[in-house]
Chain A
Amino acid sequence: MKTRILGVVALLAVLAAAANALFVVPADLNQGDAQRIMYVHVPSAWLGYLSGGVTALAGIGYLWKRDLRLDAIALSAAEMGVMFTAFAIWGGMMWARPIWGVFWQWEDPRLTTTALLLALYAGYLLFRRLTDDPHRRAARAAVVGLVAAADIPIVHFSVEWWRGLHQGPTIGSPDKLLTPAAPSQFVIALLAMLGAFTLAWAWLMIRRYQLARIQWQLEEHGRLGRLSAARRAATSTSASVQASTEGAP
């Protein structure tokens, strides 16, 4: 029930923040309407990185506590991560085309880092699908998530330097190009979008986690069922010490 309330609140928040960002806040003086993509691009990128962090931390937590619930959190966060980094890249491309004239700007560290983040977490999800045993899957996935998280800051550094260590950036980063007509309104609209998207993220996370847990319970039920089936098969075919005590409480 609480989750449902969170869902409704998140939906309303996203709608309100979107209406504000699209129709109320004036266009940027420099970039015009194209700047409005920032209102979805920035929150997507933030949630992509947040999800990556949650995946890594939940994975480490699993390795420590050996609790499969933490693994379910890691899985949910990784799925969020793939979705939101994909959104961030899409938004970035839609922004880059009108402003820079190209869809893909190699020299932009954020775009390139985000693309690698997407590749890392897509690999993570694919990897999980190919392993069956729950604990083995959880442990190996946690290691993959850990390396991915350790990689991200290095990726960011290296791409940042890549543009040239000594010249300033040849093409301005998005925030340097921005000249909002109404700065405070712009900041508030962006923060509102960030908050609304984060609420939506939290709701999706909870639902995805619930799904993972119920799926796990079904799996576990299947495992116990197979175990009982094996026991029945074995006891019905052989007269045994243990069979004689069957029916004991």
Chain B
Amino acid sequence: MPQTTIYSAPPNSPLVPIPAVATHEVARLFGGSAALAGVSLSVERGRLVTLVGPNGAGKTTLLRILATSLRPTFGAALVDGIDVVARPELVRRRVAFLAHATGLYDDLTATENLRFAATMLGRADAADAVPATLADVGLAADADRRVRGFSAGMRRRLALGRLLLAEPSLVLLDEPHAALDADGMALVDRLLERWREGGATVMVASHHADRIMDLADGWARLDGGLLVETGGRGIGATAPALARTAPATAVADR
């Protein structure tokens, strides 16, 4: 049923000039403050990259824009060359996003939550896929319990399971380690490996930089809503223009 063809050409192929993620001066304001103040970066296909930086650096905002959950106030963002504002429906087929909030329904059981997600993702094989996924994320024993009684870590595991039901070419993870125990963190690492082997591009925003760094190809540091530093392979800044933001000329018409 999924209409997507997963594009998994080797990351270094010269035939793949379109980056998995490209943003141009993308910015988002919330009321009086700029959560993201203009970031231009590009991520190569098939790479696993991390976004690091303190709280309020703009990591979550950037991921939410790429996931089509937030419109940028200024600038543009492309996923696989597709504009997230102009054609969000095409972007959604390619992206899987683990948000900070788990987006689960409290009064449904773990199985019901995943089966709902499977239907929404167009999986015809939900009956087999859901129990397998629950086992994958270590929730097989809690399959028929309502999510209301779950701990924060269990909710996160379930949200990770929902992510596994999708077949994305770009995976966006916002603090995947939050609320997880050592076992859960190891699960995240396993999943990261799995996506990488499947050829998907992965962007992870994380405080646990040390934990991710060994796995990641490259990294970018955000601070105060700006891209301040990139390193490693697969991710880079694309526009240095920072001094260009002159105030808008206010026009008085007749």
Contact = CB atoms under 8 A, between A and B. Distances in A.
A–B touch (CB < 8 A): the answer is: yes
B32 A230 contact: no
B33 interface: yes
Contacts of B240: 241-242, 245, 248
- Chain B interface size, as a band, is 20 to 34
B241 A224 contact: no
Interface stretch (B129-137, B187-195, B200-208, B243-251): B243-251
Contacts of B253: 210, 213-214
Interface in A1-46: 1-3
B217 interface: no
Interface of B, helix, strand, loop or mixed by DSSP: loop
B226 A242 contact: yes
Interface stretch (A47-55, A160-168, A215-223): A215-223
Contacts of B242: 231, 235, 242-243, 245-246
Interface in B87-140: none
Nearest to A226: B34
B27 interface: yes
Contacts of A230: 33-34, 37, 224-226
B29 interface: yes
B146 interface: no
B29 A241 contact: no
B247 A246 contact: no
Nearest to B253: A210
B242 to A, nearest CB: 5
A159 B106 CA distance: 44
Contacts of A214: 250-253
A247 B254 CA distance: 35
B73 A223 contact: yes
Contacts of A238: 223-224, 228
A177 interface: no
Nearest to A237: B224
A169 interface: no
A132 B31 contact: yes
20 contacts: A2-B254, A3-B254, A136-B71, A214-B250, A214-B251, A217-B251, A221-B247, A221-B250, A224-B74, A225-B247, A227-B27, A227-B29, A227-B37, A227-B74, A230-B33, A234-B226, A235-B242, A238-B228, A241-B228, A243-B242
Which 8 residue pairs spanning A and B have beta carbons closest together? A234-B224, A230-B34, A240-B228, A245-B240, A230-B37, A228-B245, A234-B226, A246-B243
